[in-house]
Amino acid sequence: MADKRDAEMGQLIHEFLLSQCLDNVADYAKRGRPFSHLDSNSLKEQWADAFRHWLLSPSDDGLQAVHRDLEAELSLRDEPLPMELVEKEWMAQQARSRQALEQGAFSTEEPMDDLMKRLFEFIEARKRPSN
């Protein structure tokens, strides 16, 4: 029973994240695709720079917006995220997060609260009958 519930929750989370990604791409496209002029290599380098800055300041809304826009442009070009450019930083961040979790030092921050709120709203909306 728990396995089925876990699978359903995993599917809902996947659908939520996909919905968020599509919303970000649509919003970016509506604003005229400000990064469309960049060649592929420059776009990937700027994405990597934005990612590194975002790791240092995850609650900076301006950095998040730029990062989302660069990701949207990559998505529109059907290009994968160049995680190989930030592998070292991403691995270090994951290690810091694991350590904080193990030490119980993980505090809930507003961005996570907002994400969870939007996730629960998405789940509730999925439960409503469609007309």
Decide if pLDDT at 125 tops 70: no
DSSP 41: H
pLDDT in tens, 54-80: 888 888 889 889 999 999 999 999 999
DSSP letter (8 states) at residue 130? P
pLDDT for residue 120 is more than 70:
no
Domain boundaries, position 99: 2-127
Q: How far apart are CA 30 and CA 19, in angstroms?
A: 16
Residue whose structure tokens are 């300041």:
57
Number of domains observed in the structure of the chain: 1
Burial of 125 (0-12, 13-18, 19+ CB in 10 A): exposed
